[in-house]
Structure 1
Amino acid sequence: MVDIREVPESDIDRALELAYLVFHDRPEKEARERHHDMLLHCTRIGAYDGDALVGFMAAHDFRLSVPGADLPCPGLTFVSVSPTHRRRGVLTSLMGEMLRRAGEAGSPIAALWASEAAIYGRFGYGSATQGVTIEIDSTRPLALRIEADRRPLRLVDTSDPEGAVAVIGPYHEAARATRAGRPTRGEWRWTEEWLTEQDEEDEELSPPRIIVLGEPGEPVAGYVLYRTKPEDDSGPTRTPGRVQVYELEADTPAVAAALWECLASLDLTGRVCAWGRPADDPLLHFAADRDQVRVTAAFPALWLRLVDVGAALTGRSWAAPVELVLELTDARLPANTGRFRLKAGPHGAAYEPADGQAPDLSLDVRELAACYLGGTRAVELVAAGLVAEHAPGAAAALDAGLRTALLAHTADEF
Structure 2
Amino acid sequence: MVDIHEVPEADIDRALELAYLVFHDRPEKEARARHHALLVRCLRIGAYDGDALVGFMAAHDFRLSVPGADLPCPGLTFVCVAPTHRRRGVLTGLMTEMLERALGTGSPVAALWASEAAIYGRFGYGGATTGVTIEIDSTRPLALRIDPDRRPLRLVDPEEALAVIGPFHESARTRRAGRPSRSAPRWREEWLAEQDEQDEELSPPRIIVLGEPGEPIAGYVLYRTKPEADGGPARAPQGLVRVDELEADTPAVAAALWECLAALDLTGRVRAWGRPPDDPLLHFAADRDQVRVTAQFPALWLRLVDVRAALTARSWAAPVDVVLEVHDVRLPGNTGRFRLDAGPGRAAYEPTDAAPDLALDVRELAACYLGGTRVAELVAAGLVREHTPGAAAALDAALCTPVLPHTSDEF
TM-score, normalised by the number of residues in structure 2: 0.98
Report SS of the residue matched to 1:117.
Answer: coil
Q: What is the correspondence of 1:111-122 to structure 2 with a 5 Å cutoff?
A: 111-122=111-122
2:398 to 398, 401, 414: 401
Deviation (angstroms), 1:284: 0.1
Alignment size in residue pairs:
410
Deviation (angstroms), 1:289: 0.1
Which amino acid in the other structure matches residue 362 of structure 2? V
Q: What is the correspondence of 1:214-229 to structure 2 with a 5 Å cutoff?
A: 214-229=211-226
- Equivalent residue, structure 1, for 2:206: 209
- Equivalent residue, structure 1, for 2:80: 80
- Equivalent residue, structure 2, for 1:123: 123
Which amino acid in the other structure matches residue 51 of structure 1? D
Report SS of the residue matched to 1:351.
Answer: strand
CA contact (8 A) 1:113 1:301 kept: yes
- Equivalent residue, structure 2, for 1:10: 10
Which amino acid in the other structure matches residue 283 of structure 1? L
Deviation (angstroms), 1:60: 0.2
Alpha-carbon distance change, 382 to 233 in structure 1, aligned in 2, over 3 angstroms: same
CA distance in 2, matches of 1:200, 1:90: 29
User: Unaligned regions of 5+ residues in structure 1, if any?
Assistant: none
Cα RMSD, aligned residues only:
1.2
Q: What is the correspondence of 1:87-102 to structure 2 with a 5 Å cutoff?
A: 87-102=87-102
CA distance in 1, matches of 2:6, 2:228: 48
- Equivalent residue, structure 1, for 2:239: 241
Q: What is the correspondence of 1:59-70 to structure 2 with a 5 Å cutoff?
A: 59-70=59-70
Report SS of the residue matched to 1:140.
Answer: coil
1:189 to 186, 191, 198: 186
CA distance in 1, matches of 2:345, 2:285: 38
Deviation (angstroms), 1:233: 4.4
Report SS of the residue matched to 2:286.
Answer: coil
User: 1:175 and 2:172 equivalent?
Assistant: yes
Q: What is the correspondence of 1:375-394 to structure 2 with a 5 Å cutoff?
A: 375-394=372-391
Deviation (angstroms), 1:348: 1.2
Deviation (angstroms), 1:164: 1.0
CA distance in 2, matches of 1:121, 1:300: 13
- Equivalent residue, structure 2, for 1:110: 110
Deviation (angstroms), 1:236: 11
Which amino acid in the other structure matches residue 9 of structure 2? E
Q: What is the correspondence of 1:188-337 to structure 2 with a 5 Å cutoff?
A: 188-233=185-230, 240-337=238-335
Deviation (angstroms), 1:240: 2.1
CA distance in 1, matches of 2:397, 2:16: 44
Q: Deviations over 1:17-50 (max 9, x none)?
A: 0001000111111110000000000000000000
CA distance in 2, matches of 1:335, 1:3: 25
Alpha-carbon distance change, 6 to 284 in structure 1, aligned in 2, over 3 angstroms: same
Q: Deviations over 1:117-166 (max 9, x none)?
A: 000000000000000000000000000000000000000001x1xx2100
CA distance in 2, matches of 1:189, 1:172: 13
CA distance in 1, matches of 2:14, 2:233: 44
Deviation (angstroms), 1:232: 2.5
CA distance in 2, matches of 1:124, 1:13: 30
Which amino acid in the other structure matches residue 49 of structure 1? D
Q: Percent identity?
A: 82
1:368 to 365, 368, 388: 365
CA distance in 2, matches of 1:125, 1:383: 20
Deviation (angstroms), 1:237: 12
CA distance in 1, matches of 2:355, 2:46: 43
CA distance in 2, matches of 1:261, 1:4: 52
CA contact (8 A) 1:231 1:268 kept: no
- Equivalent residue, structure 1, for 2:153: 153
TM-score, normalised by the number of residues in structure 1: 0.98
CA distance in 2, matches of 1:329, 1:197: 46
CA distance in 1, matches of 2:234, 2:78: 38
CA distance in 1, matches of 2:98, 2:18: 19
Which amino acid in the other structure matches residue 189 of structure 1? R
CA distance in 1, matches of 2:323, 2:5: 39
CA contact (8 A) 1:322 1:397 kept: yes
CA distance in 1, matches of 2:142, 2:230: 24
Deviation (angstroms), 1:234: 8.7
Report SS of the residue matched to 1:70.
Answer: strand
Report SS of the residue matched to 1:170.
Answer: helix
Deviation (angstroms), 1:230: 1.4
CA distance in 1, matches of 2:26, 2:206: 27
CA distance in 1, matches of 2:324, 2:87: 33
- Equivalent residue, structure 2, for 1:22: 22
